[in-house]
Amino acid sequence: MKQHSHAQYSDEWWAARRGLPTASQFSRIVKGDGTRSTQRTAYLYECAAVRITGIYKESFSSAAMDEGTAREAISRKIYAMEREAFVSEVGFCISDCGRWGASPDGLIEGTGVLELKNPSAHTHVGYLMKGKLPSAYKQQVYGELLVTGYEWADFMSYSPGLPLFIVRVERDEEFMDKLEAELIAFSEELDEVCDKIKEA
């Protein structure tokens, strides 16, 4: 794993991840069962466009999403206090092969990654009731373990006034092997698309 220490969402952070598939979008490449996502081609073309032009498309941002981002620093401190753990912030982590990456919300004492979510109250209640890693984030969390090589991840959801939701996620080598195989295929196809466009 190669690390770029630039703060998330800084110009340097955007440059480091330019045109690379990233863990938060791995669900657009692979479904939770390891088969290909129907969104794969659209994401492939997005990555190609960014790699060639350097321009990211504007992403949708709602007031709830903005509030969640603003609460991230607070939730990181809450996790550190709750678990009595040292959490270091990290920018963009790139796989050893250099072809995909991830931006975990923290690295925990050299062995774990931290993924923080700050959802609306009703979504958080749903996480508490189900008591397991939300399926929507499976690819992201296992993708972060794949990129970093770390042993486990703690997924934490925080919503003010409600109990914390923290779940420990251990490596799932079978799923991660499927994910890695699809990332290799995606990256090779991405190179081919970019080459073809540049030759046009």
Residue 128 near residue 144 (C-beta atoms within 8 A):
no
Taking only the tens place, the pLDDT of each residue in 146-199 is 999 999 999 999 999 999 999 999 999 999 999 999 999 999 999 999 999 988
Q: Which pTM value belongs to this model?
A: 0.89
Instruction: Report pLDDT for 110.
Output: 79
Question: So what's the pLDDT on residue 73?
Answer: 87
- pLDDT on residue 148: 95
* Residue segments in the chain with a per-residue pLDDT below the cut of 50: 60, 68
Supply the pLDDT for residue 60.
47
Distance (Å) of CA 79 to CA 11, 41, 103, 115, 165: 28, 37, 17, 10, 10
Would you state the pLDDT for residue 113? 97
Domains for the chain: give ranges and CATH numbers.
2-199 (3.90.320.10)
